[in-house]
């Protein structure tokens, strides 16, 4: 078995391998990697791989981010999941060890891996800082009608029914102009969110251009006017609600809930097992919103290493 960092892996080889791994997510796909690197000029793709001969038996997607003469290494940036994919636990551990060996190199300031499939039982090096992260997931059991009647709160169901009676139409965005309007709504609404927001417009467009590869951007319309949208990512057994933006005029229709419910319905149609509502951070209102749509708590790990002097400089 040979473990290495590869920078020119063929998309077809990645896709063939991850299609055989049941817990692979959209964030492991070449589609996500291509959208990121096309949108951020200082992002460089790489993969920590394990091979038996020429056969790929394990993989971990990474992004190198240029910081002058240094880099940081993320699997993956923006808190998206980049855990190794391998059927053999020994291969998984070998890939993760190689990742942190790379992070400890002189040229790397810091690195982090978001291990969505890990709940504390993975063997991590002693110098790795491990923190717990949360998200809310909807388990897609039974039929969509079961989800509608048993997992969504009565208040949400009533709000969605009122919205549809008021003439709110939910459909996929059809062209660049509609994506531009959605991004305008998102950008205005996300100014106070902090963190990485707002994402650049180009990332929204790169995802829209890959809408035949698991990307679904839904919009809510009232008399032909877009009131908000929601980006959803589908792969394997899991769908992800990634980014949303709704206008003030949409609040009376509870459009945010309606968009999620339509996205969940699509996940049922595709035969998926989980719809991931993402992390809520310290926002209790967002947490309540997700739980009212059937979200259950799921915990995973963020494993990171940072040069001490870089950490001190960032704190300053």
What is the rounded CA–CA span in Å between residue 43 and residue 73?
Answer: 10
- pLDDT, one tens digit per residue, over 184-216 is 999 999 988 878 899 999 999 999 999 999 999
Pairing status of strand 43-52 against strand 55-67: antiparallel
Per-residue pLDDT, averaged over 125-142, amounts to: 94
DSSP codes, 208-236: HTTTTTTEEEEEEEETTEEEEEEEEEEET
- pLDDT, one tens digit per residue, over 36-56 is 999 999 999 999 999 999 999
* The listed CATH number (3.40.50.720, 1.10.940.10, 3.40.630.30, 3.30.420.480) that belongs to domain 2-133+300-315: 3.40.630.30
Q: Which residues of 179-190 are buried (b: 16+ CB within 10 A; e: fewer)?
A: bebbbebbbebb
Dihedral, CA of residue 177, residue 213, residue 75 and residue 238, to nearest 10: 110
Confidence at 118, pLDDT banded by 50, 70, 90: low
What residue segments make up the domains of the chain, in order of their start?
Answer: 2-133+300-315, 141-272
What pLDDT is recorded for position 169?
98
Q: Is 302 within 8 Å of 134 (Cβ atoms)? A: no
Average pLDDT taken over every residue of the chain? 94
**CA-to-CA separations, 88 to 75, 85, 93, 95, 98, in angstroms, rounded:** 20, 9, 9, 11, 16
DSSP state for residue 200 in the 8-state scheme: P
Tokens of 203: 């990332």
What pLDDT is recorded for position 121?
62
Sheet of 296-306: strand order equals 2-6, 43-52, 55-67, 70-75, 108-115, 296-306, 129-139, 274-278, 238-246, 225-235, 215-222, 168-172
Q: Is 28 within 8 Å of 58 (Cβ atoms)? A: no
User: Homologous superfamily of 141-272 in CATH?
Assistant: Gcn5-related N-acetyltransferase (GNAT) (3.40.630.30)
What is the rounded CA–CA span in Å between residue 270 and residue 140?
Answer: 11
User: What's the whole-model pTM score?
Assistant: 0.95
Domains 2-133+300-315 and 141-272 share a fold: yes
Angle between helices 255-269 and 154-165 (to 10 degrees): 100
Confidence at 283, pLDDT banded by 50, 70, 90: confident
Tokens of 138: 């909807």
Q: Is 91 within 8 Å of 1 (Cβ atoms)? A: yes
Which one, of 6, 101, 103, lies nearest residue 58 by Cα?
Answer: 6
- pLDDT, one tens digit per residue, over 226-263 is 999 999 999 999 999 999 999 999 999 999 999 999 99
Which one, of 242, 283, 202, 295, lies nearest residue 80 by Cα?
Answer: 242
What is the rounded CA–CA span in Å between residue 73 and residue 62?
Answer: 7
What is the rounded CA–CA span in Å between residue 265 and residue 42?
Answer: 37
DSSP state for residue 77 in the 8-state scheme: G
């Amino acid at each position: 078995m040979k473990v290495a960092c590869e920078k020119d892996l063929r998309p077809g080889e990645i896709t063939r391998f991850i299609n055989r791994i049941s817990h692979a997510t959209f964030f492991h796909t070449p589609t996500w990697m291509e959208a990121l690197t096309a949108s951020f000029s200082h992002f460089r793709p790489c993969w920590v791989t394990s091979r038996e001969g020429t056969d790929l038996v394990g993989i971990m997607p990474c992004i190198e981010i240029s910081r002058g003469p240094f880099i940081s290494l993320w699997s993956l940036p923006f808190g998206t999941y980049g855990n190794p994919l391998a059927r053999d636990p020994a291969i998984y551990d070998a890939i993760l060890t190689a990742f942190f060996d790379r992070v400890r190199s002189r040229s790397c300031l810091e690195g982090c891996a978001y291990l969505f499939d890990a709940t504390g039982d993975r063997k991590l090096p002693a110098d790795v800082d491990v923190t717990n992260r949360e998200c809310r997931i909807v388990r897609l059991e039974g039929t969509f009608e079961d989800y509608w009647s048993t997992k969504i709160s009565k208040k949400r169901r009533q709000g969605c029914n009122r919205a549809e009676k008021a003439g709110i139409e939910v459909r996929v965005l059809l062209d660049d102009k509609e994506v531009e309007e959605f991004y305008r709504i998102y950008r205005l609404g996300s100014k106070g969110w902090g963190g990485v927001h707002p994402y650049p417009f180009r990332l929204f467009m790169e995802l829209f251009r890959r809408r035949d590869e698991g990307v679904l951007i839904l919009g809510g319309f009232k008399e032909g006017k877009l009131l908000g949208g929601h980006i959803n990512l589908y792969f394997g057994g899991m769908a992800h609600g990634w980014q949303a933006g709704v206008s003030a005029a949409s609040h009376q229709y509870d459009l945010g809930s309606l968009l999620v419910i339509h996205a969940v319905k699509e996940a049922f149609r595709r035969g998926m097992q989980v719809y991931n509502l993402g992390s809520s951070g310290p926002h209790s209102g967002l947490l309540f919103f997700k739980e009212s749509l059937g979200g259950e708590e799921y915990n995973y790990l963020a494993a990171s290493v940072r040069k001490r002097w870089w950490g001190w400089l960032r704190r300053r």
